[in-house]
Amino acid sequence: MTNPENVLMLAGVLFTIGALGVMLRRNALVAFMCVELMLNAANLALVTGSTMNGGLDGQVASFFVMVVAAAEVVVGLAIIMTIYRTRRTTSVDDANLLKL
């Protein structure tokens, strides 16, 4: 069996790379994909926790995270499409109507 601590480290690294992407990228779609990467890292940690503790609860939690992610992607992509339709851009810098 894989050492779960290594897998947890991998999950931490993936989560950090995702967070870095959210901070660096300005294309809304890529930033959104980085959020998905963070969710995936959390899933990996949940599955590892399931292996460590000998229960399936972690896998069930991971499954629910996937369901929520699917719903979130649908709404998020619809919002990105709406912004693109009105402002002709997917850059997060250009959505600044609320700014003074």
Partner 1 sequence: MIPALIPMVTGASLTFWICAPLAVLGALGLVLFRKAVYSALSMAFVMLNLAVLYGTMDAPFLVFVQIIVYTGAIMMLFLFVLMLVGIDTPDSVIETLRGQRWLAALAALGTVGLLFFGIGGSVRSGPFAGLTEANAIGNVEGIASLVFGRYVFIFELTSALLITAALAAMVLAHRTRVTEKIGQRLQAAQRMRDYAETGAHPGPLPASGVFAGHNSIAVPALLPDGSVAESSVSRTLVLRGAALDPEDLRSMTADRFAAIEGVKEEEGDE
Interface positions, 3-42, toward partner 1 (CB under 8 A): 3-10, 12-21, 23-27, 29-30, 32-34, 36-37, 40
Which positions ≥6 away from 15 have C-beta within 8 Å?
37, 38, 41, 42
Should residue 100 be labelled a site residue for partner 1 when binding is judged by CB under 8 A? no
Cβ–Cβ under 8 Å, residues 11 and 41 = yes
- Specify the residue, 8 or 95, whose C-beta has the smaller distance to partner 1: 8
Q: Is the dihedral of CA 25, 30, 32, 37 positive or negative?
A: negative
Q: How far is the CB of 97 from partner 1 (least distance, A)?
A: 17
In the window 37-96, what residues touch partner 1 (CB under 8 A)? 37, 40, 43-44, 47-48, 50-57, 59-60, 62-64, 66-75, 77-82, 84-85, 89-91, 93
- Specify the residue, 21 or 95, whose C-beta has the smaller distance to partner 1: 21
Q: Distance (Å, rounded) from C-alpha 73 to C-alpha 20?
A: 20
Cβ–Cβ under 8 Å, residues 20 and 14 = no
Q: How far is the CB of 14 from partner 1 (least distance, A)?
A: 5
